[in-house]
Amino acid sequence: MSDEVTGGAGSAGAAPWGAAGYAGGEERAEYPGGVEHPGGLEHPAPAEPVELVTIRDPAGRTRGSGFVADDRGTVLTAHEAVEGLERVVLHAPGERTWRTDAAEVTLLPELGLALVPSDGLGARPVPVAVRGTIPSGTYVRVPARGWRQARVLGAGADVGHTAGGRRMVLPATVELAIGTDGRDALLLGGEACGGPVLDAETGAVLAVLGTALTAERRSGNFAVPLRAAAAITPGGPLAALLERNGATVPGYGAELNLAGALELTATTVGSAFPPAARTGPEPVARPAIAAGLAAFTAGQDLVLGLVGDPGTGRTTALAALAADRARGPRPAPTLWLRGADLRADDTSLADAVTRALAEAVRIVTAGGAPAAAAREPAAEGTAERVARLAGAAGRALLVLLDAPEEMPPALAHRLAPWTVSTAAWLCGTGARLVVAARPEHWERAGALYPPELLHTPQRSAPRLPPALPVGDFTPAEADAARARLGVPAGAVREADARHPLTLGLLAGIRAAGVTEGRPTRDEVFAAHLDLLCLRVALRITTAARSSDTRPPGPGPDGGGAGLAGQADGGQAASGAWAEAPGPDGDRPTGSWSAADWSAGSWPGGDRSAGSSSGTDGSSPTWPGGHPSAPSRPGAGRPTGPRPGADPSGGPGTAGGGQPPGGVYGPGVRRLAARVAGRVHEAARRCLGPGQGQLDRAAFEELFPWRTGWASAVLTEGLLVPAGPGYRFAHEELSDWLQACHLDVPGALDSLVHSGPAVPGPPVPRHRIGPVLEALRRLPGAGKAEEQARLVDALNAFAQAPPGEVHPDRVWWAARLLRGALLSAPDATAHLPVLHALAEHVTRTGAQDFGGWFWNRLRLPESDRLDLLRRLLPSDHRYLEAAGRRLARAPQLVLSLLCAWFTDERRLRGRPGATVATAAQALLHTHRGLALDDLTEALVDAAHPRADELLAVLAEDEPSALSRAVDRWAHDERPGRRVAAAAYGLATAPHVRTPADRELLRYAAEALLARPGDLPLHGSALGMLLRDPQARARHLTDALECFRDPGRGSRLPASALVAALPVLPDPDAVFDALRARADGEVLRALAALTTPALARRAGDLVREHLARHPEDAPHAAAFVDRRLEQGPAAAPVLRPLVLGLLRTAPPPVRAALAGVLAPPGGEPGSALRAELAETLLREEPDPQVLGAFLTALAAATSARPEERTRELLRRTGRQLLRTPGGPEVFEQRIVELVRADPVFGALVARWLAESGAEAAALLGPGARRTVETLSRSAPDVT
């Protein structure tokens, strides 16, 4: 076999994989967010496959060689190269030297290897092959007086070496076949000893040569295979070294390792942020978003949605995440994709990942990797290899998919199967995915992922599948961003002061010298566009001057050669800029001198972004344009740069520099206007079919390469490549520009009212941005008309038969209306539309306009609360929205909620509840927010519902009512003093603290001190009777007031009765009660529970009924209340009621029957039933039994049906035994079954189940009525 020398000490050989190391100490470049892009990619290929490290003894004698194997500088060599040395001297090319004591060397005689520490000697680490075995016949390259080719014969048998005076057989060796000259070079102690054995195809290290290795009965050349040797001792030093090698020294192709995966994925991130995009300060930290992303990466879920509107910083958040993952001792692979990187025929995300890795290999190849190896990662299954490799290392591959809305339309229509395949690929490989999308895209796409794969953040985006929301800056973040960008507080209107893109663009405008005024977002966008158009014009001018006005030659795409390389030319020697060619090669005429920069003008003059000069320099007529293109308001406009100011922030640059003296050359201003015209034409064309991008042909038509226009707009970052076409760099600015040219009525007709004129795929929902922006810009009358049409469309859609209206039309109508109303700076002008919308929601229950929508409208609270009141009957959840407003501003909202007391509309799905009762409940639930303000709002309302709530508060919050009564008693307004008297009396029974009693005492005394408030004195005395300290002093006045109500002051009987248990002599009080006994007194006496007092109260009731039987209802109320006091009342109540049932006149007995028929509460149920049995057994009067039957029917639903039937039978039998009873029974049954459906259903079931018994009791008329009603009415029970 002959030798094949492929390189020597000075020969040029192909660079192996790993020539550009990932973590071998090379210098690295930073891209946005701090992600490191390997600077090694820019180095040319080294002259040799491996930079060998020569090993010598202290005397300078060569002992062998080795190679750097990790980022720490560890040199891997053969054991015999360092055995016996007290100090090891390492030499690398370039006269670099390192000395190491023998104690620091790790000897592995059992493997035939040694590890020598160093500082790396500036040599590139070499990747070690990942394969575990080396097949026979593998071609390799070995350092033997130059790099020679050899072949692996197979594993060595009984191969060993002598170490420490004894022979050791190595567990893993391979035998090499090499030519004669090569064998001669492999002499004991030569440079070949410890040299690496490289795979001839990939350049990775397979083994280490051992010139002292011998077999027992044959000679040969042997080497130690590294992977097999490391497998002998899995936790040993060699295994640790190879693990570091795989993590820090990139290998590619068949030898792809973790470091290679890290470098390839890092290249995709670096490519997303070219050097031109890496200017400016670091983005401000956003802790909430960073915490949400960290929670996802630390968890086990596979998919996270990052959702936000354009301009809020989705891409910046992704870049920060990529930067965080690239830092630290264990960097994790992060791969960047945009929706434009997807293709129409992709079956899953894996296809795009594979293409991105192939492109990364192409970039890495340009940095020195061999072309043969560069082809490997593009092979099928590369994405799976990278993902599984990262997963095996415990550093899962994370794919960042930014702006998935840019995917091709054909793929967007196949989103469901693509998502299913992507989810399967993620599950199969362990890779993870973050999708940064607009809400409109995630609304559909997020719902397609299996729920178990989605990560649910702690604060998820509302009304969407689980996602992490990205919005405007918080106040603290906005302050930090302004400080970092150099934007002072107050430099932008308040509505846009926390908008990330607005602040970023404003910083660039201010850096160009435009610093005055307080612009809005629209004005910032317009100024940014003006500035970029001026800079593009200057670049075109500079390129034309640099080319010496000669026509450019043909470029690679058949257009122009491109002037991107000439765009950064210097200033003209004459001090004036050369005339620049127009987009088609023609040159403009005219000039733009310092006089053109007048005070108060912006770059390009006083024109709006939507009305820039056309391509010919005249006033534009935009193709397909609309007369509603916006004009930038003059108010608040910053002052433009004066002559001599540098719009780019740097002198003499094509990116905005000025000529000497600050005078622009001929035609620059006109050229800037023409650039603006072409930019607007590009925006108009983006409105066409597709995803809002500009195809390559349209781009080259508008911005030819031949004349430098394409280079200029791309260099300035106005447009950027996106898949097969181009897009505007800022999505929100793109929407803003496209809105200038949208025909709103036509767009709404196509999207909502009539549907598309030409059949085809629907307009993607994420294209809502330009439509919303154009709708926002309509003048007031036109905007109101279009919004009203949208409400009418929603009403028509709701009434249409199911399936007749395409869901997209409903979606567009609701979202456009919602977005337009939410974006209004003052929605008061849209109240008619809001009222109509509220009516639509109330009627249809539409879910697109929940409480959050009404809370976000910019409205006065009175109008907002009125809208919520209108909406409440349709859904009780609108009460939660009102509750949030109440929690935010209780003092303001309390009185507005009290206005709801007049609305008695019923709530859907809440039996018995009305708007008024809901307001009561809400105020009571949130009473703790501002109790004192609540009492004032209620007393101001002067409504029965307010009085009811105040009565409840008197019991639940006596301290607050005590304070209120004290305030009202000292108020000069008569109405307040009336309220003090009423609610002081209601509060007095519930006070528990001396402080509250003292407040009520002061209030009562204040009322008594006003002679003009004589009607209130009775209530004031009642309050004092509840006060132990004041009761004795005021008892005489209270009795006098009670006996003589004719004075105009009336003391409530309840107040006098309440004082009885604590008075030493109650006789005077009973005399007063007896003297003025009436219905009020009878009801008040029921509060007496002390046996002696209760007995005297019963006697007083009996005596009063004997004289005034017309007060029987009040006596019945007395009995009912006493029954609820339980068995303790029986000794007094039983004889009283039995006596009345047997001796009282029929009206009294009928009133008592109405009390005994209902079941009542548990405490008095037994006594009530006992007394009812007595009535049914002994009562002879049909009218009394009829009253019992009426009360029995009214309480049907309050007792078991069997008990009601039993009482019905008993009542019927008793009536049949009395004269005139049958007629009364039949008549009452007919009336009751007609009036009460529940009772009617019970009688019908009784008649059906117990026909004979029921027929015997019911008359024929009653039976017919019951049967008729049972057939015509449903069973309501």
On whether the CB atoms of residues 1159 and 1123 are closer than 8 A, the answer is: no
Q: Give the confidence band of 1026 by pLDDT, cuts at 50, 70, 90.
A: confident
Above 50 in pLDDT, residue 596? Answer: no
Task: Tell me what the mean pLDDT of segment 1019-1035 comes to.
Answer: 87
Task: Tell me what the mean pLDDT of segment 947-966 comes to.
Answer: 94
Read off the pLDDT of residues 914-929 as tens digits, 9 standing for 90 and up. 999 999 999 999 999 9
Task: Tell me what the mean pLDDT of segment 615-642 comes to.
Answer: 32
Q: Which amino acid, residue 473?
A: F
Q: Identify the pLDDT of residue 278.
A: 59
Task: Tell me what the mean pLDDT of segment 1038-1057 comes to.
Answer: 78
Task: Tell me what the mean pLDDT of segment 1016-1032 comes to.
Answer: 87
On whether the CB atoms of residues 197 and 207 are closer than 8 A, the answer is: yes
Q: Give the confidence band of 401 by pLDDT, cuts at 50, 70, 90.
A: very high
Task: Tell me what the mean pLDDT of segment 1155-1165 comes to.
Answer: 86
Establish how many alpha carbons lie within 13 A of residue 684's alpha carbon, considering only the half-sphere containing its beta carbon: 18
What is the C-alpha separation between 779 and 773, in angstroms, rounded? 12
On whether the CB atoms of residues 501 and 508 are closer than 8 A, the answer is: no
What is the C-alpha separation between 552 and 540, in angstroms, rounded? 13
Task: Tell me what the mean pLDDT of segment 202-209 comes to.
Answer: 92
On whether the CB atoms of residues 1054 and 1087 are closer than 8 A, the answer is: yes
What's domain 255-471's architecture? 3-Layer(aba) Sandwich (3.40)
Q: Give the confidence band of 659 by pLDDT, cuts at 50, 70, 90.
A: very low
Name the token pair of 337.
């994709």
Cβ neighbours of residue 20 under 8 Å, at least 6 residues apart?
26, 38, 40, 41, 43, 250, 263, 364, 367, 368, 369
What is the C-alpha separation between 38 and 259, in angstroms, rounded? 11
What is the C-alpha separation between 143 and 595, in angstroms, rounded? 73
375 exposure class (CB count in 10 Å sphere: 0-12, 13-18, 19+): middle
Q: Give the confidence band of 646 by pLDDT, cuts at 50, 70, 90.
A: very low
- Dihedral over Cα of 1181, 1182, 1185, 1187: its sign: negative
7-251 in CATH: which number?
2.40.10.120
Q: Which amino acid, residue 479?
A: D
Question: What are the C-alpha distances in Å from 12 to residues 48, 53, 91, 747, 911?
Answer: 6, 17, 20, 65, 91
Above 80 in pLDDT, residue 24? Answer: no
Name the token pair of 1223.
């007629």
Q: Give the confidence band of 606 by pLDDT, cuts at 50, 70, 90.
A: very low
Task: Tell me what the mean pLDDT of segment 573-591 comes to.
Answer: 35
Q: Give the confidence band of 665 by pLDDT, cuts at 50, 70, 90.
A: low
Q: What is the dihedral of CA 1154, 1155, 1161, 1162, to 10 degrees?
A: -110
Tell whether pTM > 0.95: no
On whether the CB atoms of residues 794 and 848 are closer than 8 A, the answer is: no
Q: What is the dihedral of CA 339, 342, 345, 349, to 10 degrees?
A: -100
Q: Identify the pLDDT of residue 274.
A: 64
Above 80 in pLDDT, residue 1257? Answer: no
What is the C-alpha separation between 553 and 1029, in angstroms, rounded? 110
Cβ neighbours of residue 22 under 8 Å, at least 6 residues apart?
38, 40, 248, 249, 250, 259, 260, 262, 263, 266
What is the C-alpha separation between 14 and 418, in angstroms, rounded? 41
Number of other CB atoms surrounding residue 385 within 10 Å = 18
- 398: helix, strand or coil: strand
Lowest mean pLDDT across 83-92, 374-383, 991-1000: 374-383
**Residue of 1203, 1176, 1201, 1193 lying closest to 1230 (CA atoms):** 1193
Above 80 in pLDDT, residue 1046? Answer: no
> What residues pair up with 354 in beta bridges, in sequence order?
none
Q: Which amino acid, residue 954?
A: A
Q: Identify the pLDDT of residue 693.
A: 86
Directed axis angle between helix 500-511 and helix 475-485, to 10°? Answer: 20
Read off the pLDDT of residues 1167-1208 as tens digits, 9 standing for 90 and up. 889 899 999 888 889 999 999 999 988 888 888 888 888 888
Above 60 in pLDDT, residue 440? Answer: yes
Q: What is the dihedral of CA 901, 907, 911, 914, to 10 degrees?
A: 10
On whether the CB atoms of residues 230 and 236 are closer than 8 A, the answer is: yes
Q: Identify the pLDDT of residue 1045.
A: 67
Three state DSSP letters for 1213-1270? HHHHCCCCHHHHHHHHHHHHHHHCHHHHHHHHHHHHHCHHHHHHHCCHHHHHHHHHHH
What is the C-alpha separation between 1145 and 1179, in angstroms, rounded? 12
Q: Identify the pLDDT of residue 931.
A: 93
Above 90 in pLDDT, residue 604? Answer: no
Q: Which amino acid, residue 178?
A: I
Q: Give the confidence band of 489 by pLDDT, cuts at 50, 70, 90.
A: confident
On whether the CB atoms of residues 402 and 438 are closer than 8 A, the answer is: no
Q: Angle 1061-1064-1069 (CA atoms, 0-180°, nearest 5)? A: 70
What is the C-alpha separation between 763 and 777, in angstroms, rounded? 21
Task: Tell me what the mean pLDDT of segment 448-461 comes to.
Answer: 93
Task: Tell me what the mean pLDDT of segment 724-741 comes to.
Answer: 91
Read off the pLDDT of residues 253-304 as tens digits, 9 standing for 90 and up. 888 889 889 999 988 888 877 655 556 788 889 999 999 999 999 999 999 9
Q: Which amino acid, residue 118?
A: S
Please give the backbone phi and psi of residue 869, each rounded to the nearest 5 degrees, phi first.
-65, -45
Establish how many alpha carbons lie within 13 A of residue 29's alpha carbon, considering only the half-sphere containing its beta carbon: 18
Above 60 in pLDDT, residue 21? Answer: no
Read off the pLDDT of residues 126-158 as tens digits, 9 standing for 90 and up. 999 998 899 999 999 998 888 889 999 988 878
Q: Identify the pLDDT of residue 1126.
A: 86
Above 50 in pLDDT, residue 611? Answer: no
What is the C-alpha separation between 486 and 465, in angstroms, rounded? 38
> What residues pair up with 28 in beta bridges, in sequence order?
38
446 exposure class (CB count in 10 Å sphere: 0-12, 13-18, 19+): buried
Tokens 């809370």 sit on residue: 855
- 190: helix, strand or coil: coil
Which range in 12-26, 29-43, 359-373, 406-420 is most confidently predicted, on average pLDDT?
Answer: 406-420
Read off the pLDDT of residues 931-940 as tens digits, 9 standing for 90 and up. 999 999 999 9
Element at 176 (helix H, strand E): strand 174-177
Q: Give the confidence band of 350 by pLDDT, cuts at 50, 70, 90.
A: very high
Read off the pLDDT of residues 830-866 as tens digits, 9 standing for 90 and up. 999 999 999 999 888 878 898 899 999 999 999 999 9
Task: Tell me what the mean pLDDT of segment 1254-1277 comes to.
Answer: 66
- 64: helix, strand or coil: strand
Q: Where are the domains of the chain?
A: 7-251, 255-471, 525-739, 743-849, 858-953, 957-1073, 1077-1167, 1180-1277
The per-residue pLDDT of the chain, averaged, comes to 81
Read off the pLDDT of residues 41-94 as tens digits, 9 standing for 90 and up. 233 334 467 889 999 999 988 899 999 999 999 999 999 999 989 999 999 988
Q: Identify the pLDDT of residue 6.
A: 44
Q: Identify the pLDDT of residue 329.
A: 85
Element at 425 (helix H, strand E): helix 415-429
DSSP string across 781-809: HHHHHHHHHHHHHHHHHHHSPTTSS-HHH
Q: Identify the pLDDT of residue 1206.
A: 87
Lowest mean pLDDT across 125-139, 308-322, 1121-1135, 1237-1251: 1237-1251
